[in-house]
Every structure is written in C-alpha cells, then in structure tokens.
Structure 1
Amino acid sequence: MCMATETQGYEQPQVISRDRAGEIAQEVQDLIGRGQENHAWELVRHLHPADVGTILAGLPRTSRQALVTVIPPATFTWILRQMNPVDAARLSARIGSNALSFVLEQVNPWEAMETLLRLPTRQARQVAENLEEPLPSAEVLEYPVDTAGGLMVIQFPVVDVHAQVRSALDSLRALEELRYRFSHVFVTGEDGVLAGQLNVVDLALAREDTQVADIMSAVQASVAVDTPSEECARLRRHYNLPQLPVVQDGKLIGVIPAELLLGAVVENDTRQMLQVASVAGESADGPVFGSIRTRLPWLTVNLGTTFLAAAMIALFESTLAEMVVLAAFLPVVAGQGGIGGTQTLTLIVRAMALGQLVGINAWRLLTREALLGLLHGIWLGVLVAAIAIIWQKNIGLALVLGTAMLGNMIIAGTVGAGVPLFLRRVGVDPAVASAIVVTTFTDVFGFLLYLGIASAMISLIV
C-alpha cells in the first residue's frame, strides 16, 4: 500500500479468510515481539484494507501502537476510508484519539476531514479537538451522533437543473476518488433547493449536450438533518435506497452514501439485538469496566426478580416437603417457559425494528402466539409426562407436570408477544426491558402453576 498518492502503485489486494487473518495476526504479533515492525508491515501491506484493519484492531495495545508507527500516515488514513464504517469505528477506538490526531495532522486537511467523516461523530469530535489546526467544514461534526447530520458527507456530486450533462460529469470528476461512493448526481434548482437526481448510468449513456432536466428523475426520499439514524436505516431498508440526500429548509446540504447508510442499518440492528440481552453499547473485546457498567445494573434488577420466583416456591414449602421429587422438575417447567417466551420476544422485537407489524392487529398477534404456545405445550407436556412416568413411575406426577408445562407454554407465548407490544404502546423501548419482564413472568407463573396443581393433586402424587 505504499503510494505517492493514495493508490498509486497499489497492487490488487489479496482477499483472505477469517482463519487466515487470525494466522497472519499471530505472525504479526510474533514479529513485533522480536522488534521487527517493518517486516510485520510488509506481511500485511498487500492485504485488503478491511483485513489490515481487522488485524490491527485485534492486536494487543503495545503491538498495535508499534505497527501504526511504521505505517505511512497517508496510507493509514486511506485504510480507514476504505473500511466499512463499523469496522473503521472499532479500529479508531482501539488506536485512540490522541494517536489518530497525530496521524491526521500529517496528511492533507481534506483527506483528514474525509477520514473523520467515516467515524462515529463522537469519536470524530474527540480527534478533531486534539488537532492543532481546524479542519475544513468541521462544523459538520457538530451534528448529534445519532442523526442524519451526523451520518452525512458534505462533498457530493451536484449540478444545476439548467445545466447540461457535461457539467454533471464534471462534478463527478471533481470528486476524484470520492466519486465511486455515489450512484447518483443530485440536481438543485434556485437557492440550492433539491430538484431531482441523475443516475450515473444514464449520465454515461447520454450526450454531453443533453439538458439535465430532460433525463433527471425524482428523489424517492430525503431527510432533515435532525432525522434519527434509526429512521435513516429504515428508509434505506424499506425503499432499497443507495444513498439519502439531507436537506434543510428544502436546500440540499449533504448526502448519506450507501456505506454509511449500511453502517446505520448494521448499528441499529446490532443495538436492537444487544438491548434484548441488556448489553447494549458493549463489545466482546472492550474494556472490562465498560462491560461492568453495562451489565451489572441489569443483573442486579434480574436478581430482584428471581426473588419473586423464590417467593412462589416458598409459598408451597409444605407441598415440597411432602413430595421432595417435585423440586427436581422445577427448572424443567420454568426453563421451557423462559425459552419459549424468549423465542417469541425476539421475533416480535425484530419484527418491530423492521416495520413488519404495520397493519397487523395486536389481538390477532397475541392469539397466534397463544395458539403456538398451546401446540408446543401439548407436545412438550406429553413428552415430560412420559419422562416422569419412566423415571419416577408416578402417573400423578406426570399429570401435574404435563398440565403445568401446557399452561406455562401458553403463558410464555402470550407474554412474549404482549410485553413488547405493551411497552411500545406506553413509549418504552421494547428491546431494553422486555427480556427481564418475560422471564420473570414465565418463572413466577411456571412455579405457581406447577406447585399449585401439585398441591391440589397431592393425594394422586404421594
């Protein structure tokens, strides 16, 4: 990747598997451990930028810093710009804002600004604050992190509605390497008001003296600078948009390119998934104290809910004393209910995130999940009853287990669908609190059903 300009003399990058990337990372670490940083760089310099970034991010801190010192600053910033935004953000977080600021001070200001725009706004601001000289158009970094303004770029192809095709082509050429990020040239009217867009394929096929207005098409969707990133992600997914123009008072002020839109989609989907598990904002190789801060509050809340389940068991202490074997099957009933509820919960929360529940009646959804719970409960109830008969040779115990399992699976399906629907109705993010509520319901009612039925039928069991 050594180059006079960023890509001059650059060879076709090698694409490798994850396993091979892991092997190279170990080789790099061994070379750096022997003080051979330059040889380590030679080992990775012909790889694809995405693989170089992955290897860098995965190295121990001292090894990573040693390797970064031998990578030319222009090459390092070019690698960041070629990576997808999610991986670029991970690598920049590993490098640290001070080290990244030092690198950016040694490259062209516009290249430095373009590199910062590939990073989450919060990280970009931290790096920009450490720079001795302000960057051009740095005001774009002032937009909130989770908005369209925080995602957009301010260098994009644009042409006047009264111009000809040759002017549109010139606007693309002026962007140099950045032109590959755009599938359309945007068309503006008076005072920069967004008027339409031109597909680059149409531009390539049109005569240069053709009027832009004759071949432009309408813009499918645009967003304001304060539009949440979640909505930008939804628009990209729902309308299959390659890029999204950002307007302010009708005037075009920025564009969210395809890779940043994809990054918003990935970030939104990842956040939803992690919120269900109550580990939002955490990464597998992040700082330990950050993980403690994320997980411990929810673990503490969950500890409190487990005492509700314990209280249910305590209510039936006399029943358990009469028939100790009942205790052996407590986790069976509660565990199956928890798994069934979590399955339904995950499906519903994901459907909400994707907008798949539009027009679907809540009662219809609850009825469907209750029916599934009934069908699952019948099968699992028969199965666990058969196991109880074979193991304990107790038909009464089998009847109690089968009935409790059936009831808890119906509760699991209904609660798994009902809780996220209710939380959304009252304005609480279903992904944040649903999991604990669902598991509490299935544990408490599972124990209540199982031990309650056992108490009522104790004469058949003993």
Structure 2
Amino acid sequence: MSRQEPGTEPIAGAQPPTELAPAIPLEEVGRIAERVQELIAAGNEAAAWQRLRQLHPADVGLILAGLPRASSEALLQIMSPQTVTWMLQHMNPVEASRLGARLGLQTLSFVLDQVHPRHALSALQRLPIRQAQEVAEQLDQPIADSELLSQDPNTAGALMSDRFVAVNADAGIPELRANLAELQEDRNRLTFLYLLDAQGLPEAQISMVDLALADADATASSIASPLTAMVSVDTSAQECARLRRHYNLTQLPVVEGNTLIGVVLPDALLGVTVEEDTRQMLQVANVPGERADGPMALSIRTRLPWLTINLATTFLAAATISLFESTLTQLVVLAAFLPVVAGQGGIGGTQTLTLIVRAIALGELVGIRAKRLLVREATLGVVHGIWLGLLVAVIAIVWQGNYGLALVLGFAMLGNMLVAGTVGAGVPLLMRRVGIDPAVASAVVVTTFTDVFGFLLFLGIAQAAISLLV
C-alpha cells in the first residue's frame, strides 16, 4: 500500500495472548513501564514485549502511550496487526484514544486493514468518533456498519452499537437466549435486552441476571422491568452522560422514528461521561481539548490566547493600584499585603467557580436552587473572610506592630472574600442564563474581579484611614 512508511508498519510478529491478564495496581504499571523502557534502550524489544504481553491490554496501551515515540515505534515493529487490534478492542475508550493518537493515522489504518472487518470495526468503535472516521476513510477494506461512523460525533448515534437483542413481549426465554448467542462475544458487553411494543419501540428491559435465572418455560414479559429512559439518534452526548449520572444507567436504547436501531453500551456511556467531565475541567482551566502528552503546537494554540487575555486583565489590576500611588508612597508596607488580599480572593473565587460549574454540568441546579446557592456561597465568603481577616490582622500586628493596618487588612479581606463567593457563583450562573458555556471564560472573569476588588477595597480603605496607619 502506498501510504506505508518505513519504520511505521507493524510486522507480523508478536501475537496477542489467548487470555486477558488480571488488573494490577497503577504503581506496578509504572515500574513495568520503566523496565520496558530499559529493555528497549538496550535494544531488547523482544524481551520488552514478553514483559508487556503478561499485562491486560489496557495496561499495555497505557505504557505504550507514555513511552517516548521512538520506543513505542520500536515495540510496534515486532507486533502483529492482530496484536494492536486486540489491544484496542479490550481497552477503555479513553486509553484507546491515547494509543490511537500515538499510533497515528497511517499506522492505525495499516493495522486495521490487516484484520477481519468485524474486528476492525470493533477497534474503531473504541476510538473517538472523529478519529475513527478519519481512520475508516483510509482503509482499503470496507467496514460493514460504516453508517455508525458517519453520525454526528457528539450524538447518541455516534456512541451506539447496533449489536443488541430486542424481542416481542410474548417471546419465550429460549428465543431470547438464542438471539443472545448469535451476538457471540458482543453479548458480553450487554447489560439489558429489550421488549418491543406494537410500534417497534422499546417498552421494557430484561437484565442479563434475570435472563440467566429465568425458567425455560417463562415468557420475556414475565421477567421484564420498566424502561427508565431511551434517547433518539440525535440526542447529544452530553445528555446521554447526564442520563447516565442522574438515573444510574448502564445502557441506553437509541431509537430513530419508531424503530430501535441501537444501544449505547456501558463502556461508551462511561467514556462520554469521562470526556464530558474532562472537557468541563479543562475549560475551567482554559486548556480545552489538550492532553499532557499532546502536540506542542496544540498546547500553544490552546493556552496562548487565554494567557494573552489574562495579561490584558492584569492591567486592570495594575491600573487600580496606580490610582493609589500617593497612599502607597505614604506607607510602602501596604504593597507587601496586596498579593495577600488579592490571592486569597482568587483562590476563594476559583473554589466556588469549580463547584458551580460542576453543578451546572451535572444538572443539579434547577428551580430556586441557583438562588439559594448564590446566597450560600456569599455566606461562606463572609465566614471565610471573618476568619482570614482575623488571622491576617494578627499577622500584621505581630509583624508590623500597626493596629490600624491590621484593621484595614481585616476589613479588606472580609470584603474580598464576600466578593469572591458572590462572583464565583454569580458569573457562571449569569453565563448559563445568557446561553454561554460557564466553563469557557468564567475563570478569567472571576480572577479579574477578585484582583481588582481586592486592591480597590484594601487601598481604598487604607486611603480613607491613612491617619490611623502613619
């Protein structure tokens, strides 16, 4: 194939183990990774692979993704395509994504072209949908069910599998078990089977445990339980994640019109939940979509704009300080306490912001709970401000022997912690109200508020009470 590049194609060599290895502690994975790196550095890739093949494929993928690129490519040289595909099939979606990124488009497409299309599809379904689509476009062999890879990547249609069991309510237990057996190894991924109504929509579900314990002469409807939720093919991945959390679901049926067309399986539900939680966390830190071992160019594109914006906002704080030059000239020690007041406010605001963004993402803020939460965080700000204000006042007395300075610091700390709690809760709530993702820009706004108001309160009170300080 023309896209093969020297030094990137795995050759038919090391084969996958016949059985899955048990889980091991993360610390042990780290020690094995160090040993594997030592073996590769010594030119003994075969011994490194023999050590790796004793591990679960998820651990193998974690180690491969963490190795230097030259080392991982050296190992890939002795792995067969079947081995790489085997690893992808048995890894969780997050680690499969990391390994897929490390392999690269060319190598991954070469690998999947060498295995059975069903195995290739199974491996692709472990990857993020955009990555899977790019790889599928490069394959020489057609992928059956390729429609699953053409769905909008942020919808249930992209997350679902079309391997499921659904029968009419009058079906018998033998029929259910026979349908399940036809799925072969895919049946191990299911937690529920479905009963269909007259229109073909799922109306009830049967757990695998109930099916295993059912008498052979029972009917499917006799062991079924009510269906908690189902989604349409265009339901957002975020909503699927919310349903999983809120209703403690392990599987979601997906319908299109009046037809059950697939199910979102437990691993996909877990994967989208982890991705959504990670997205929210990274956006709060203004590094959306970035990975610790990702491309340097992506990190620069992601971080630099927000760092530039943050630089601009710091000049607001600097301008605030410049308004009180005469006050600082009269009592230079005030400058030493500026970062104390502003820093505590920034930390308090970030704590509140993180909790509120998480609550919004999980759908916990409904009705008047948002207002109550705003009052609660403001109250916490006052409580924290009283304690921190007293503490910093005592430090000022011990350090400077200035009771007036202690009084100014105490009130400034109290006021800024109140601002931190109020703004930390209010900014994401306001952004949600106007339709902006609270995780996107809240952190910059909150830290700007706490810096500016911290300086303004501290220096403003100090200027008003300058006669008590000098």
- Number of matched residues? 456
Structure 1: which amino acid aligns with 2:412? A
Quote the residue 1:336 is aligned against. 344
In 2, the alpha carbon distance for the partners of 1:311 and 1:402 equals 23
Quote the residue 1:179 is aligned against. 187
1:301 equivalent to 2:309? Answer yes
Quote the residue 2:435 is aligned against. 427
Deviation (angstroms), 1:383 = 1.0
Secondary structure of the residue that 1:201 maps to in structure 2?
helix
Structure 2: which amino acid aligns with 1:159? V
Quote the residue 1:291 is aligned against. 299
TM-score (norm 1): 0.95
1:16 equivalent to 2:24? Answer yes
* Deviation sequence 1:24-72 (CA, Å, 0-9, x none): 2222223223332222111110111111111111111121122123223
Which sections of structure 1, spanning at least 5 residues, go unmatched? 1-5
Quote the residue 1:3 is aligned against. none
What are the residue-to-residue correspondences of 1:205-284 with 2, within 5 Å? 205-284=213-292
Quote the residue 1:347 is aligned against. 355
In 2, the alpha carbon distance for the partners of 1:390 and 1:102 equals 70
Structure 2: which amino acid aligns with 1:339? I
In 2, the alpha carbon distance for the partners of 1:361 and 1:47 equals 48
Going from structure 1 to structure 2, the CA distance change for 1:14 and 1:202 (only over 3 Å counts) comes to: closer
What are the residue-to-residue correspondences of 1:291-440 with 2, within 5 Å? 291-440=299-448
Structure 2: which amino acid aligns with 1:138? S
In 2, the alpha carbon distance for the partners of 1:74 and 1:12 equals 15
Deviation (angstroms), 1:11 = 4.3
* Deviation sequence 1:114-148 (CA, Å, 0-9, x none): 11111110010111011012210101111111111
Going from structure 1 to structure 2, the CA distance change for 1:82 and 1:213 (only over 3 Å counts) comes to: same
Structure 2: which amino acid aligns with 1:205? L
Quote the residue 1:87 is aligned against. 95
* Deviation sequence 1:63-86 (CA, Å, 0-9, x none): 112212322322321221111111
2:57 to 36, 49, 53: 49
* Deviation sequence 1:250-304 (CA, Å, 0-9, x none): 2111111111101111111111111111011001111111111111111111111
Q: Say whether the 8 Å CA contact 1:11–1:46 is kept in structure 2.
A: no
In 2, the alpha carbon distance for the partners of 1:344 and 1:234 equals 22
Which sections of structure 2, spanning at least 5 residues, go unmatched? 1-14
Deviation (angstroms), 1:160 = 3.5
In 1, the alpha carbon distance for the partners of 2:241 and 2:403 equals 55
| Aligned CA-pair RMSD | 1.6
Q: Say whether the 8 Å CA contact 1:194–1:250 is kept in structure 2.
A: no
Deviation (angstroms), 1:195 = 3.5
Deviation (angstroms), 1:193 = 3.0
Deviation (angstroms), 1:190 = 5.0
Structure 1: which amino acid aligns with 2:60? V
Q: Say whether the 8 Å CA contact 1:161–1:195 is kept in structure 2.
A: no
Structure 2: which amino acid aligns with 1:383? L
Structure 2: which amino acid aligns with 1:387? I
Deviation (angstroms), 1:14 = 4.2
In 2, the alpha carbon distance for the partners of 1:234 and 1:328 equals 47
Deviation (angstroms), 1:209 = 3.7
Q: Say whether the 8 Å CA contact 1:125–1:141 is kept in structure 2.
A: yes
Going from structure 1 to structure 2, the CA distance change for 1:196 and 1:364 (only over 3 Å counts) comes to: closer
In 2, the alpha carbon distance for the partners of 1:201 and 1:24 equals 37
Deviation (angstroms), 1:169 = 0.6
In 1, the alpha carbon distance for the partners of 2:168 and 2:349 equals 56
Structure 1: which amino acid aligns with 2:383? L
What are the residue-to-residue correspondences of 1:61-140 with 2, within 5 Å? 61-140=69-148
Q: Say whether the 8 Å CA contact 2:117–2:141 is kept in structure 1.
A: no
In 2, the alpha carbon distance for the partners of 1:241 and 1:229 equals 14
Q: Say whether the 8 Å CA contact 1:246–1:254 is kept in structure 2.
A: yes
Quote the residue 2:6 is aligned against. none
Deviation (angstroms), 1:186 = 1.9
Q: Say whether the 8 Å CA contact 2:415–2:457 is kept in structure 1.
A: yes
TM-score (norm 2): 0.94
In 1, the alpha carbon distance for the partners of 2:370 and 2:31 equals 51
Secondary structure of the residue that 1:255 maps to in structure 2?
strand
* Deviation sequence 1:347-392 (CA, Å, 0-9, x none): 1111112222223343322222121111111111111111111111
Secondary structure of the residue that 1:349 maps to in structure 2?
helix
* Deviation sequence 1:317-353 (CA, Å, 0-9, x none): 1111111111111001100111111111111111112
1:167 to 169, 172, 175: 175
Going from structure 1 to structure 2, the CA distance change for 1:256 and 1:362 (only over 3 Å counts) comes to: closer
Secondary structure of the residue that 2:255 maps to in structure 1?
strand
Deviation (angstroms), 1:177 = 1.3
Structure 2: which amino acid aligns with 1:129? E
In 2, the alpha carbon distance for the partners of 1:345 and 1:396 equals 33
